[in-house]
Amino acid sequence: MALPADIYNETSQGIRLFNKWTYEDVEVKDISLTDYIQIRNPVYLSHTAGRFSTKRFRKAQCPVVERLTNSLMMHGRNNGKKLMAVRIVKHAFEIIHLLTDQNPIQVLVDAIINTGPREDSTRIGSAGTVRRQAVDVSPLRRVNQAIALLTTGTRESAFRNVKSIAECLADELINAARKFQFVCH
């Protein structure tokens, strides 16, 4: 069975996110996160309708752009509005490409690597005495927390702001990918 010419040309170019950005040149620079930032199975859209929460570590196989999209659907008024979240991510990626001339998927991967915490503290205690103990963070939790921090920061910066949420998401991702150091006062 022969493929029509337009479909054959499309598959020979490779699968592109939103028919614009390729996964070919995207690399995960942190070796510990390569199994948890999913870019090996490219998708056209950040909506696969997959069941990634049925087993324990299956969400690591969810495409990273879809995880960002799903994380944007929070705070009651935005629950379940996936098409809106996909549109936000698409516009943010276009803005990132215009501002940086880089592949937005690579910018997202770099932002996740830079944002994820490497160390955390846990409570160690018995019989009323509690002390904090420093522990390393697992790679999956680093990715989860990085995506959550990026989307929470985006949501808070877009609230009561003239900028759209797509512009705020683009700013968040660009700043996180550049390793900007912010000083807390």
The answer to whether residue 21 sits within a structural domain is yes
What are the structure tokens assigned to 58, written together? 């299956």
In a domain, 135, yes or no: yes
Give the number of other CB atoms < 10 A from CB of residue 56: 8
Residue 2 within a domain? no
Tell which residue, 84, 87, 93, has the closest CA to residue 23: 93
What integer pLDDT is reported at residue 12 of this predicted model?
Answer: 47
Q: Which of 81, 85, 80, 79 is nearest to 65 (CA)?
A: 85
Q: What is the pLDDT of residue 6?
A: 59
Does residue 24 fall inside a structural domain? Answer: yes
- Cα 102 from Cα 142, distance rounded (Å): 24
From residue 147, give the alpha-carbon distance in Å to each of 124, 162, 167.
27, 24, 17
For residue 99, the model assigns a pLDDT of 93
Which distant-in-sequence residues (6+ apart) come within 8 Å of 170 by Cβ? 92, 93, 95, 96, 99
What is the chain's alpha carbon radius of gyration, rounded to the nearest angstrom? 18
Burial of 107 (0-12, 13-18, 19+ CB in 10 A): buried
Strand 129-136, strand 119-126: pairing: antiparallel
Q: What is the CATH number of the domain that holds 140?
A: 1.10.455.10
Q: Where are the beta strands (DSSP E) in the chain?
A: 16-17, 21-22, 119-126, 129-136
What token pair was written down for 115? 């944002």
Q: Can you count the helices (H) and strands (E) in the chain?
A: 6, 4
Whether 50 maps to a domain, the answer reads: yes
Number of domains composing the chain: 1
**Position 82 in a domain:** yes
pLDDT tens, position by position, for the chain (185 residues)?
A: 454 555 545 554 688 788 788 888 888 888 888 888 888 888 888 788 778 778 888 788 888 888 899 899 887 777 888 899 999 999 999 999 999 999 999 999 999 999 888 888 888 877 678 888 888 888 898 999 999 999 999 988 888 989 999 999 999 999 999 875 554 44
Residue 5: inside a domain: no
Range of the domain at 88: 14-178
Give domain status of residue 3, yes or no: no
Considering the entire predicted model, what is its pTM?
Answer: 0.82
